[in-house]
Structures are given as C-alpha cells and as structure tokens.
Amino acid sequence: AAKRSGKNRTVLFEPHMHEQALARVDTERQLRVALREKQFALHYQPVMHLASGRCVGFEALLRWQHPQRGLLTPGAFLDVAERSGLIVPLGAWVLREAQRQLQEWQAAPELSGLFVSVNLSAQQLGVEAGTPGDLLTMTFPPGLHLEITEHSLADTPEALRAMRALHRRGVPLMLDDFGTGFASLSAAQRFPVGTLKIDRSFVSFLPGDARQTAIVASVVTLARHLELNVVAEGVETPEQARSAQALGCGFAQGFLFSRPVPAAAAAAFARAHPLGEDRPFGGRGT
C-alpha cells in the first residue's frame, strides 16, 4: 500500500500502513475459518408502518460471533470480505439463512405476511453466470427482498443486468442508503426498484428547517410519482418518526423501534406489533 503524494510523487510507506495490511490479511484468514466453522449469524431489525405502528418486515443484518473479539458488526469485516471476494460465499450463506428464517416465520400465521430483506454487495451482482454464488441460480421465495446501494450498481457493469434479471424473476428490490449517491434521482427511475430507503444521514436532520428536510421531502415526492415505498432509515427519536411521517415517509426503521436483534426477539417484536390482515407495504415493493 504505497501512496503517491503531491506533484513530487514521493512514495511513502508508513509503519501503520504495514500494520494495517497485516491486519487485513489476518482478518481474511479468520473470515475463511469463520465461514467453515459457521461463526456468522443474522440479526433482524423491524421495518415499521408509521401510520399504524405495525411491523411489516425485517432487514437481515450480518453479525460475526468472533471467538476472541465477540459479536462484530459488518463495519469490522465487510470491507475485507468484499476485497477478498469472500463476500460471495458469505453472501450466499446470508441468503440461505434469511430464506430459512423467512420460511420458518411464514409457517406461523401471525408472522406469515412479513418480508425479510437482505443486503447485497456489488461483487454478488457481478458473479459470472452459472458459477457458485450466481444469484440467478438461487431460489427467491415470496417475501424475500434484496437491498442494493446505488454505489454498488455504479461499481459493476454487470450489476444492472443482474438486477433487471432479478426483477423479471419477481424479486422485490430496494435502493439502500438512498440519497448518498450523486445520481440518486436517475437511479430511482432507471433501476427496477420498489422501495427507496432514505439514508440515515438525512433522517438525522429531522425535524429540521426547510433546508434540512429538503432531501427527504424530494425523495417522498419522487417516490409518489414512481409509486415506490419510502423507508426512513436510522430513526432514533419520536420527533424524527413524527417528522418523517409528516413529510410523507410511509415506513421507518431505527433504534427508536428496535435495534437489530436475534431472530427469536425479532419474532416477539413482530407479535407485539402485529401486521394482521393489512399489507401496507404494497406498490411495486411487493
């Protein structure tokens, strides 16, 4: 990891860079062990219908039960998993596990209407057709949704093609971290998605002045015209929830309602906020 700086093109190699490189290699080695030894788990965070307070589904979020370091969130390992390509087998495990969990919940009448969404990395959309990890060789039961960021679509030339194919197969797609890419508005229009998830960075300004709420208000207007669901991400306070709803966000997710929790706790949460016969998460989202 040598770095060129300034016009002198001085090659710098700081000791801390060496340490970082070693740490990456070590994390990669440990990730391989973790995959073999099944040290991963999914936690689930509820997505709420703001008008009714009902839980409409869950986002599955990857966790690594590290033997020494304890429970790790993706910030500690996702980058290494992506750069090493390990995200492809890891992501395939996530999809299988989310599907298994969804089917278990669908067998319980009071949980059967919930969706589970899974985050995809760009590498998973770029897997060569027919090789291991190819999404199009997998089965997607109704209720399984996929979350994709605009960034990951920009990264991989094959990504858009894969996404269109998934859409044709009827897999509901969500644009994650919406608003953080520089082409968000055109992305919403060009990509066959049913749901926009407004990034936490915009939600954190709520309730704000007109300037601070402008992005959320614009996304809601866009979503109305395109008949998309809007989820406000990272809602932490009742004021943020009220403001998001007043601005027209139908759905929200955040620590205010629940942190991501293991499956049993998620199911208990859903039972306490039952969906009943309602299916508010509609439109092109389902």
What DSSP designation does 71 have? Answer: E
Distances (CA, A) of 96 to 99, 137, 139: 5, 12, 9
Binding segment toward ligand C2E, per CB under 6 A, in 99-107, 162-170, 184-192, 250-258: 250-258
Asked whether position 220 contacts ligand C2E by CB under 6 A, the answer is no
Distances (CA, A) of 239 to 11, 217, 242, 243: 50, 16, 5, 6
Closest contact distance (angstroms) between CB of 199 and ligand C2E is: 7
- Compute the chain's Rg from CA coordinates: 20
Asked whether position 179 contacts ligand C2E by CB under 6 A, the answer is no
Q: How far apart are CA 187 and CA 205, in angstroms?
A: 23
- Other residues' Cβ atoms within 10 Å of the Cβ of residue 74: 15
Asked whether position 258 contacts ligand C2E by CB under 6 A, the answer is no
Closest contact distance (angstroms) between CB of 282 and Mg ion is: 20
Site for ligand C2E in 185-214 (CB under 6 A): 200
Q: Could you check whether the bond before residue 74 is cis, i.e. omega within 30 degrees of 0?
A: no
Q: How far apart are CA 195 and CA 158, in angstroms?
A: 21
What DSSP designation does 261 have? Answer: B
Among positions 24, 35, 74, 154, the unique one binding ligand C2E when judged by CB under 6 A: 74
Which of Mg ion, ligand C2E, none binds 156 (CB below 5-8 Å, type-dependent)?
none
CB 62 within 8 A of CB 38: no
Among positions 127, 150, 176, 251, the unique one binding ligand C2E when judged by CB under 6 A: 176
Among positions 34, 55, 62, 146, the unique one binding ligand C2E when judged by CB under 6 A: 62
Which of Mg ion, ligand C2E, none binds 150 (CB below 5-8 Å, type-dependent)?
none
Binding segment toward ligand C2E, per CB under 6 A, in 2-10, 49-57, 213-221, 251-259: 251-259
Nearer to ligand C2E, 119 or 286 (CB): 119
Q: Is the dihedral of CA 193, 196, 199, 202 positive or negative?
A: positive
Among positions 75, 109, 130, 238, the unique one binding ligand C2E when judged by CB under 6 A: 75
Chain positions contacting ligand C2E, by CB under 6 A: 45, 61-62, 73-75, 78, 87, 91, 94, 119-121, 147, 176-177, 200, 234-236, 253-255, 260
